[in-house]
Amino acid sequence: MTPFQVPLIAVILAAAGVPLYIHLPRFAVGDLGLSLGTVGAILISIRVVDLVQDPFLGRLSDSAMVSRARLAWIGLIGLAVGFLSVFTLTPAGATAWLMAGLVLVFSAYSLLYILFYATCVDVAQARTGQHMHLAGLREAGMLGGIILAAILPQILSGIDGTDGGYRSFGWVLAVLIIAIGTLTRGFWTTPRRAAQPKDQLQLSLLKRPGIRGLLILGLINATPVAISSTLFLFFVEDVLILPDLAPAFLVAFFLAAGVSAPLWSALATRYGARRVLAGAMIASMAVFIWAATLGAGDVVQFSIICIGSGATLGADMVILPALFAARLAQNDHPRGAAFGLWSFVSKLALAVAAVAVLPALDLFGYEPLKTGEKSDVLPLTFAYAVLPCLVKIGALGVLLKLPKKVLIS
């Protein structure tokens, strides 16, 4: 394995994570003519598929009978075809086609995610437990992938002549995935470490208090970012009335997260994960609640919020995955099964955010992508700025209740 392979693979995974939820509601409403309620229903339905398939994919990753390299190529091709199906080939109003494409995207994402993180654990153990070091490489790639995928549609909109640039977006992602897959094919040949056979079932992992606690914390703590990401483009276009600055705001947010990540890692190593994570959570709420007071044209204020909240996100990006990986290594849990659960939790947070807020906004009368009176966007402002802070309080409570031994990397 060479150092560049980890961040390059992370770029691919990042494109199918947060950026997909940033763009999908905007694309489905603006290009396909679907309602917010329909988008929420599609996303929660796909989570039912994940509930069935992710345990199977985790066990498949752990099986010594199947080549990780072969599985990785299945995931890469599936992800490329899935992005093409969703953004380039879906006809207007074709709900069933969109859902089928999303099932392919998320299934391929699950397979790659499980394989990637399981292989990283084996690499870290082979190199004397370098979990935080690999986490830094991973999150650097995630940052690059998120920024690239977040701003690409706006850049491409001037090339393909469409309002959102999503048709070209599908092609660019598909080509990028296959190219990176070719460059990183040696990564998947890392020797596997045997795990204890008694833990092969993922349900048995949930009986382990440390694993269960970190999964619950990961789910609740990821939900605020999932909510704000899902509503970001709507907030910028309908509340701030600054659609042309959306790419710049996204870059500021995720760049701040990436720049701050090494600092959070160092602080967690020195002062302990619980104390540092708690501080980051409190700081994120203090910064982000300010967004509830903003209105049309508030460029400077929202820029400060993007930078401040992005900087606090760096703690979540580095510390929680590193703690989970370290917990697996300490107890020789099966990598694929465990990261099948972690993958499901990550996607569940995004789906819960979408299914909770999108139909609710529909119900309260918010009409997306239409500049209206102040009262028209009040539900959107509450959902985007206030609701994430309320959920973050719950995540802080879970963190403070976790045993100290769980929060040692």
- Domain of residue 279 covers 5-407
Mean pLDDT of 145-161: 81
pLDDT tens per residue, range 74-107? 999 999 999 999 999 998 888 999 999 999 998 9
Q: Residue 205: pLDDT above 70?
A: no
pLDDT tens per residue, range 11-21? 999 888 878 88
Mean pLDDT of 264-269: 85
Higher pLDDT, 283 or 342: 283
Q: How far apart are CA 124 and CA 326, in angstroms?
A: 9
Higher pLDDT, 388 or 55: 388
Name residue, tokens 């703590």. 221
Domain tally for the chain?
1
Structure tokens of 241?
Answer: 């009335």
- Is the model's pTM score more than 0.75? yes
Give yes or no for a contact between 296 and 168, defined as CB atoms under 8 angstroms apart.
Answer: no
DSSP state of 188: G
Structure tokens of 364?
Answer: 């309260």
Lowest-confidence pick of 7-11, 161-165, 375-379, 383-387 = 161-165
Centre a 10 Å sphere on the Cβ of residue 279 and count the other Cβ atoms it contains. 15
Mean pLDDT of 279-302: 95
**Which CATH number belongs to the domain containing residue 237 in this structure?**
1.20.1250.20
Q: How far apart are CA 399 and CA 311, in angstroms?
A: 19
CB within 8 Å of 45: residues ≥ 6 apart: 99
pLDDT tens per residue, range 107-117? 998 889 888 88
Of the pLDDT bands very low, low, confident and very high (cuts 50, 70, 90), residue 197 is very low
Mean pLDDT of 12-41: 86
Q: How far apart are CA 261 and CA 321, in angstroms?
A: 12
